[in-house]
Amino acid sequence: MLTGSDLLAKVKELGDIAKSELVRECGYVSTKKDGGERLNFTSFYEALLEAKGVSLGGDGAVGKGGRKLSYTAKVQGNGNLLVGKAYTAMLDLSPGDEFDIKLGKKAIRLIPVGGSEEEE
- What span, in angstroms and rounded, lies between the C-alpha atoms of 27 and 72? 40
Is 38 within 8 Å of 48 (Cβ atoms)? no
Mean pLDDT estimate for the chain: 83
User: Tens of pLDDT along 26-56?
Assistant: 999 998 888 889 999 999 998 898 888 877 6
pTM above 0.85, yes or no: no
pLDDT computed for residue 65 by the predictor:
55
Choose the CATH number for 71-112 among 3.40.630, 2.60.40, 3.40.50, 2.10.260: 2.10.260
Cβ density class 63-79: b for 16+ within 10 Å, e for less: beeeeeeeeeeeeeeee
pLDDT the model gives residue 60: 47
For 60, residues 6+ apart whose C-beta sits below 8 A from its C-beta are: 86, 89, 90
Q: Where do the structural domains in the chain lie, given as residue ranges?
A: 4-51, 71-112
